[in-house]
Amino acid sequence: MAVSAVFVLNACKEDEEVFPAPSVSAGTEASGVPGAKVNVTASISAPAGLKTLTVLKNGAAFDTKTYTANETSDNYTKEYTIENLAAGTAVNFTIIATDSKNQSSAPATFTVKSTAVPPKEIVTVKGVLTGNVTWSKSKIYKLSGFVRVGGDTTAVTAAGAATGTLTIEPGTVIIGERATKGTLIIQRGSKIIANGTATEPIVFTSERGVGEREAGDWGGLVICGKAANNLPGGSGQLEGSYKGWHGGTDDADNSGSLKYVRVEYAGVPINPNQEINSFTFGSVGSGTVLEYLQASYGGDDAFEWFGGTVNAKYLVSYRTLDDDFDMDNGFRGNIQFAVALRGATSADQSGSNGFEVDNDGQGTANEPFTSPTLANVSLIGAKQSQETFISTLFQNGMHLRRNNRIKVYNTFITGFPNGIYIDGATTAANANGGSLVLNNIVLAGVTGWGSNGYGQGAATQPQGFPVRDVNTATPAADLMIGTKKPSEWFAGLTGNKTVASWSTTGVSNSVFGTGRPTFTIIGTAADALNKAVTVPTLPAFFTATTYVGAFNDTDWTATWAEFNPSTVTYIK
């Protein structure tokens, strides 16, 4: 009986079918430029039935597939985006199949090679653009001289003046011609639709190469609108007399949309001491969208508003020469989430400020008053420590002067010789009467800089102030807001405070250096900007926040902003 059992068992084994191991045949090698999409392909055969498929990319896991049906073959395909690799670099995908008998195939290799990116065509643009014009990211556009969208270059809009709409694709690069002071001007009645993305911002920059760029290499981006201003007659030409006429009666005017746009190395002088700003907004209306904009290394102001009602969110002023945010001629828009970072020696002969705000150049009572509302701004001056040398041309975190009626909330200021200067009797009267408002403002000094954390950077210069209580005359005269010194008036308003040093506020010291800063706040700091903040009631435009300054735990500059543009190769 035992012998019979052995015979039967051996007969069963001899009858069991034996299957060959699976086999994999990789597809034809693929190639392309960085960013191109290709398919990794292979043909698989497994007579015993497929169980799993494993794909490795240069030895690391890339993809797996499990088979549940009794499949004996498969045509595998998987999309792969070629990474930013040097031309000729190979990426090898190893493909291995196993079958239901746990037999494995021999590895098969599918290769993808990166090829050189062909240089983009440079298209020189001149003169007036009318109708619908689109600029593609597949090309680079060079601004030669004053490039105008629309033909309204007169003080009073001529009947039938040609208009245009310029649409710029995400990822497009525009360069300004240095020799001709290349500038883009959106004339009154025309539009720009420049909506980049967080991963593909639109960049306006210098035509010069890496290591050669400097402030004032080209003009800048100018938008002229039809909203009201307080200029005589309601219409005016922007500084420099380059026919940038602006103004009207339509506060809801729509000049288009800017999202995820960078302007670098702008600010060329049109005439002596008349530079174009990185971003210039002349009487731009509230129908226009401004979000995620960065001005870097400009030769004048980073952002300037001449009248108008346009709103803005997420603004970055980086190492500009003159003022970061300049507002005058009846600007009445709302601004939230803005940051300014200064360079230690980059300051203008006119004096550099975080905010410079006027009703107009003469401080008249012309209406509409300059009366914007701002919230969640961080003004980071150049003075990191007592040892940091800064230009003596730096002045104030906020220079509020000439009869303006600004309202500012949840804002942080440090590193300037003076925190706030309320300049002039009419401005002081506005503050006393409640039409100029500062709430939830944190002023932070610099350890050891003068006796109070503020100063001018040199022993021969006068002492600075968190809030100036004397003017800049010689000899200095006391300033008063009603019956109070400005510092007493400031301290008596909701949420305002002065701390000895920025180092206790939760702000990273990286905001004073070059390269990408860490903007998020360290909440455990003694005077952290997200602690015990009174929440003001603001217009519907504003996002409710419970912190002071432009950031809390999220960096909204991530991926799209650039803090080292001198090293970026734009022309390839």
Q: Is residue 47 part of a domain?
A: yes
C-alpha to C-alpha distance for 459 and 464, rounded to whole angstroms: 12
Q: Is residue 504 part of a domain?
A: no
Q: Annotate 122-177 with DSSP letters as a single string.
A: EEEE-SEE-EEEEE-TTEEEEE-SEEEES---SSSPPTT---EEEEE-TT-EEEE-
Q: Is residue 26 part of a domain?
A: yes
Angstrom CA distances, 388 to 512, 516, 534, stand at 10, 20, 34
- The mean pLDDT of 287-295, rounded to a whole number, is 98
Tokens of 253: 């005017």
Q: Is residue 76 part of a domain?
A: yes
Q: Compare 70 and 371 and report the one with higher pLDDT.
A: 371
Beta-carbon contacts of residue 299 (< 8 Å; ≥ 6 apart): 215, 216, 266, 267, 268, 269, 275, 321, 322
- The mean pLDDT of 118-126, rounded to a whole number, is 95
What residues make up the domain containing 59? 21-114
| 8 has a pLDDT exceeding 80 | no
Q: Which of 118-122, 215-219, 434-438 has the lowest mean pLDDT?
A: 118-122
- The mean pLDDT of 441-467, rounded to a whole number, is 82
Q: Is residue 243 part of a domain?
A: no
Q: Name the amino acid, one letter, at 96.
A: I
Q: Is residue 246 part of a domain?
A: no
pLDDT tens figures, 49-104:
999 999 999 999 999 999 988 899 999 999 999 999 999 999 999 999 999 999 99
pLDDT tens figures, 196-207:
999 999 999 999
Average pLDDT, the chain: 94
What's the pLDDT at 6? Answer: 44
- The mean pLDDT of 463-474, rounded to a whole number, is 91
Q: Compare 296 and 5 and report the one with higher pLDDT.
A: 296
Q: Which of 15-24, 368-377, 424-433, 497-506 has the lowest mean pLDDT?
A: 15-24
What's the pLDDT at 17? Answer: 81
What's the pLDDT at 3? Answer: 43
Q: Is residue 355 part of a domain?
A: no
What's the pLDDT at 456? Answer: 66
| 5 has a pLDDT exceeding 50 | no
Q: Is residue 46 part of a domain?
A: yes
- The mean pLDDT of 350-366, rounded to a whole number, is 97
What's the pLDDT at 569? Answer: 95
| 10 has a pLDDT exceeding 70 | no
Total H helices, total E strands in the chain: 3, 37
Residue 460's pLDDT band (cuts 50, 70, 90) = very low
| 459 has a pLDDT exceeding 50 | no
CATH number at residue 106: 2.60.40.10
pLDDT tens figures, 146-191:
999 999 998 887 667 899 999 999 999 999 999 999 999 999 999 9
Count how many domains the chain has. Answer: 1
Tell me the HSE value of 138 on the side-chain side, using a 13 A CA sphere.
Answer: 1
pLDDT tens figures, 239-248:
999 999 999 9
pLDDT tens figures, 30-56:
999 999 999 999 999 999 999 999 999
Checking 81-86 for CB contacts under 8 A at 24+ apart, the result is 81/35, 81/36, 81/37, 82/32, 82/33, 82/34, 82/35, 82/36, 82/37, 82/38, 82/112, 82/114, 83/34, 83/114, 84/34, 84/35, 85/34, 85/114, 86/114
Residue 11's pLDDT band (cuts 50, 70, 90) = very low
